[in-house]
Every structure is written in structure tokens, then in C-alpha cells.
Amino acid sequence: MSKLRVQIDGETENLDREPGEAFIDESGFKLLIQTDSEEPRNLFLVAVVKDRIVGFSRCESPTLKRFAHKVEFGVCVLQEYWGYGIGKNLLAESIAWADANGIQKITLNVLETNDKAVTLYQKLGFEIEGTLKNDKILSDGNFYNTIVMGRFMD
């Protein structure tokens, strides 16, 4: 999982991290997955193709009571597996889990230039809630906005 995350971070600038930033080693991933398994308002999913882990997603609930009604979603998939619906399936499973567990809202952030992701999120019921202006500096040295999206339980 550690190597996968570093590889995915290096394949796209759509994510928040540079390769190796906020590195999570094997024991860190084991602890994270164990914590998510024990915390009923967290979810950790793994996508596997032919016995190879090709992506994962996570829903994390804030610990503060005023935010207990929502989770934040994040996803990453190896670039060679883009276009096969893996990210969409991870999100659809996360939505089904959230709805089944009474979670009222799922939030996510997406880079403004990631049109395919924004379109997918909207198809799955997410609404644009706002924009964080000049939120990231990418490798070209330019600032980019982050779109904040949310999906409310049906």
C-alpha cells in the first residue's frame, strides 16, 4: 500500500500530495485500516485486479460531535487503470455504505481542472458547494482552485 500510494501520487497532480509526502509505512497502513475497521463511521476500501491492488478509497468521519453527520471521501487509482470504472465503483460502494449507516453528508475536494471527476461526482449526486481560490500550486508554478463538493443523504 505504501509503494502504491507513492506511485499514484507521482502519476497525477489531481491529488494533494507530491510523491512521498505524508508517507505512510506498512505499520501505519495496518493501523489505519484497523482503526477504520473498528470505527463505525470510517470506511477503507481496496480495489484489486488479478491479485494486484490498483487503488483504494477512504471515508473518514471527523471526531467532533458537530460534524458527526458527515464523512470526507478520498480516492486514488493507478493511472493505468483509469477509465475502467474503478474509482466510480469505490465511490458508489462508499455512498451505499454511508446511506446504510445513516451518514447524512459525504464531502470531497477536487482540483478544478479534473473535469472527468467533477462530472462523475455530479452524476452520483454531489453538488458544488464552493471554491477554494488559489488553493494549490502545481508543478507549472501556477495557482489552481479546489472545488468543494457534497452529497446529502436521499
Percentage of the chain lying above the pLDDT 70 cut? 100
Q: Which three cell numbers stand for residue 6?
A: 507513492
- Alpha-carbon distances, residue 71 vs 48, 59, 140 (angstroms): 24, 6, 32
Grade residue 124 by pLDDT with cuts at 50, 70 and 90.
very high
Q: Would you state the pLDDT for residue 118?
A: 97
Q: Would you state the pLDDT for residue 21?
A: 80
Hey, what CATH topology would domain 2-152 get? Aminopeptidase (3.40.630)
What does the pLDDT look like over 34-57, one tens digit per residue?
A: 999 999 999 999 999 999 999 999
Q: Which three cell numbers stand for residue 2?
A: 505504501
φ, ψ (nearest 5 deg) of residue 131: -135, 135
Distance CA 28, CA 90 (A): 22
The phi-psi region of residue 120 (left if phi > 0; otherwise alpha if psi is between -120 and 50; otherwise beta) is alpha
Distance CA 144, CA 141 (A): 10
Look up the pTM and report it: 0.92
